[in-house]
């Protein structure tokens, strides 16, 4: 298929590369002319503006927006919908709030343009591993775009099948699903990220306890000088707490057991707040996820080793670089 990609940052550029490897034709746009030139040198079709990008796409057009959530995405969608024609599709693959998707889908529908929201997980590793996608939007449009999603997704790989899954249809085993109508994709991704906060916090606090097992507050005979990289490594092999986040923690601790380069300032990208807001609106208790979010707020005031572990994980899975000052 042919697809436009707007935004060539950490994820947009690698998604473009993965799609080109899969045989798709990519027309690209970015605020950085150098970024466009670089990807064009790898086989993409360069465009000089959003109007130029739309002009180089064949009807029915499809453009994937991969820019920061909030105002940048809003302006990009507004610009695209003013240029596109009925039957074209705008795909938001960033971390937009699902309520914005509902509003934008109505704006697009009024002009006959389809709108699809795609919660995308995979970070800087997605080029090789693939991207897990949670998709919202009109069923027929999502089905038409299936070749794009199938190429970006990880596929079944070597993960054992869930018992009984062979009796169920769908694309979940391939790493992507159509969640439902507009906003549902980003809603599922939002809660995914809220859960991620809690999982990361659990690992971080556990390793903080290990680090402080030498505390002088403890009786000398129960002080333990533990090898944190080895603990992370052994847990990766057969433990019930193994996960990709633990894999990334093991990498970070092997590279620098004290995490001295991570100051422990931990950002939140908005999805955690959105998850807690959804829990409030639904009157659903979410104690762990709420505490994990508040811990990130607290990390900006004073830093523990747990904060350094969180910071290291964010850098590993998403290429996030925390500020050196606050």
Given pLDDT bands bounded at 50, 70 and 90, which one contains residue 140? very high
Query: Which of these is catalytic: 189, 211, 308, 316?
Result: 189
pLDDT tens digits for range 70-127 = 999 999 999 999 999 999 999 999 999 999 999 999 999 999 999 999 999 998 889 9
Angle at 266 between CA 265 and CA 269, to 5 degrees: 140
The answer to whether residue 56 is catalytic is no
The answer to whether residue 261 is catalytic is no
Q: Name residues whose C-beta falls within 8 Å of residue 309's C-beta, 6 or more positions apart in sequence.
A: 200, 203, 204, 207, 208, 249, 252, 259, 262
Cα separation, 264 vs 266, whole angstroms: 6
pLDDT tens digits for range 193-230 = 999 999 999 999 999 999 999 999 999 999 999 999 99
Query: Which of these is catalytic: 196, 271, 316, 322?
Result: 196
pTM of the model: 0.90
């Amino acid at each position: 298929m042919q697809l436009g990609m707007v935004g060539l940052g950490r994820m947009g550029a690698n998604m473009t590369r993965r799609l080109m490897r899969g045989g798709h034709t990519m027309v690209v746009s970015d605020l950085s002319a150098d970024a466009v030139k670089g990807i064009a040198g790898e086989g993409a079709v360069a465009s000089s503006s959003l109007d130029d990008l739309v002009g180089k796409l064949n009807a029915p057009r499809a453009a994937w927006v991969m820019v920061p959530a909030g105002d940048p995405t809003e302006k990009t969608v507004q610009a695209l919908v003013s240029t596109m024609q009925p039957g074209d599709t705008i795909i938001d693959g960033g971390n937009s709030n699902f309520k914005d998707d509902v509003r934008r889908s109505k704006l697009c529908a009024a002009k006959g343009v389809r709108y699809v929201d795609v919660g995308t997980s995979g970070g800087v590793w997605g080029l090789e591993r693939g991207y897990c996608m949670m998709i919202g939007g009109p069923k027929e449009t999502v089905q038409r775009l299936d070749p794009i999603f199938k190429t970006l997704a990880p596929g079944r790989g070597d993960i054992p099948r869930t018992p009984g899954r062979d009796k169920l249809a769908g694309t979940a085993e391939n790493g992507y699903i159509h969640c439902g109508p507009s906003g549902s994709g980003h809603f599922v991704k939002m809660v995914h990220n809220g859960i991620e906060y809690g999982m990361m916090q659990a690992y971080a606090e556990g390793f903080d306890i290990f680090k402080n097992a030498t505390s002088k507050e403890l009786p000398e005979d129960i002080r333990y000088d533990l090898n944190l990289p080895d603990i992370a490594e052994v847990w990766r092999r057969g433990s019930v707490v193994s996960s990709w986040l633990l894999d990334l923690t093991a990498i970070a601790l092997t590279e620098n057991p004290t995490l001295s380069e991570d100051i422990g300032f931990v950002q939140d990208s908005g999805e955690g707040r959105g998850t807690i807001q959804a829990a409030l609106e639904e009157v659903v208790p979410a104690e762990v996820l709420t505490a994990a979010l508040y811990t990130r707020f607290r990390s900006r005031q004073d830093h523990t080793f747990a904060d350094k572990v969180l910071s290291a994980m964010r850098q590993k899975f998403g290429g996030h670089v925390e500020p050196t000052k606050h």
